[in-house]
Amino acid sequence: MTTNDLINSHRSIRRFQSRPIESDKMERILQCGMRASNTGNMQIYSIILTQQPDNVASLSKLHFGQCSSAAAFLTLCVDVNRYHHWCRLRGCDEPYDNFLWLMSGTVDASLAAQNICVAAEEEGLGICYLGTVMYNTKAIADELGLPRGVVPVITIAMGYPDEQPQQSERLPLEGVVHQEKYHDYSDDDIERVHRIREEFPFNQEMVRQNKTRNLAEIFTQIRYPKKDNVAISNALLDFVAESGMMNQ
């Protein structure tokens, strides 16, 4: 299988076999993560690898019970704590406790995470990205013992698949790729590029079961409503401020 074939065959796995991941295999996967591009070759991120069953169960609860059968959870964090420690030992300033480096570290962690996911799938493992790390950030940070200057931003559940679910739909290239400059969308553009999503059988069934007018209403009223977005955003901003990553 080529790399393109591997990437294009991706599907999220949420049910896993009760089989641990071999240590040499996990090390290869993590090494692939470490080879990802990053800002200034500073690697402003850390990876918390959770594999003990009790700890996996505790983390799963903080992700609202998702992927409880996973063999491992990998939590990727923005981490200026390590870099600042090095700076102090070398008699230098500690200039990375601000929004710029929160963003830079998030990008670095994201690039590492994608390398990890592709490497894991090449090794025959399944993965699931858990966006709920942003919903319960403080509790996850407490569970993992994260010090000031460390913010969890990505969680990956990993293990040997115990299911082969249908692939999720994706928008067509024309929906997300802009040639040379941004081309703003007309009504016709929006209708065309979202048609694949609205006609996807799973999504049509969600609309039917929830008795909503359309798929957009599923997202805006049920899955990610404004009141929840605001509450989660405020909690996340509070935690980031407490972590020391919003100094000006």
**What would the two tokens of residue 13 be?**
């796995």
Taking the CA atoms of the chain, what radius of gyration do you get in angstroms? 20
Taking the domains of the chain in order of start, what are their residue ranges? 3-166
**What would the two tokens of residue 147 be?**
């010090």
Express each pLDDT in 146-201 by its tens digit.
999 999 999 999 999 999 999 999 999 999 999 999 999 999 999 999 999 999 99
| CA 197/CA 211 separation, integer angstroms | 18
* End-to-end Cα separation, the chain, in angstroms: 48
pLDDT of residue 63: 98
Full-model pTM: 0.95
pLDDT of residue 247: 86
Location of structure tokens 């679910």: 165
Between 226-242 and 137-144, two packed helices, what is the crossing angle to 10 degrees?
40
CATH architecture assigned to 3-166: 3-Layer(aba) Sandwich (3.40)
Percentage of the chain exceeding pLDDT 70: 100
Half-sphere exposure of 83 (CA within 13 A, CB side): 20
CB 6 within 8 A of CB 127: no
The Cβ of residue 153 has, within 10 Å, a number of other Cβ atoms equal to 20
pLDDT band of residue 1 (cuts 50, 70, 90) is: confident
CB 58 within 8 A of CB 143: yes
Nearest to 132 by CA among 70, 52, 61, 77: 61
Express each pLDDT in 60-119 by its tens digit.
999 999 999 999 999 999 999 999 999 999 999 999 999 999 999 999 999 999 999 999
Express each pLDDT in 106-159 by its tens digit.
999 999 999 999 999 999 999 999 999 999 999 999 999 999 999 999 999 999
**What would the two tokens of residue 172 be?**
């067509």
pLDDT of residue 2: 95
Angle of CA points 182, 175, 204, to nearest 5°: 150
Express each pLDDT in 27-54 by its tens digit.
999 999 999 999 999 999 999 999 999 9
Express each pLDDT in 234-245 by its tens digit.
999 999 999 999
pLDDT of residue 17: 98
CB 112 within 8 A of CB 180: no
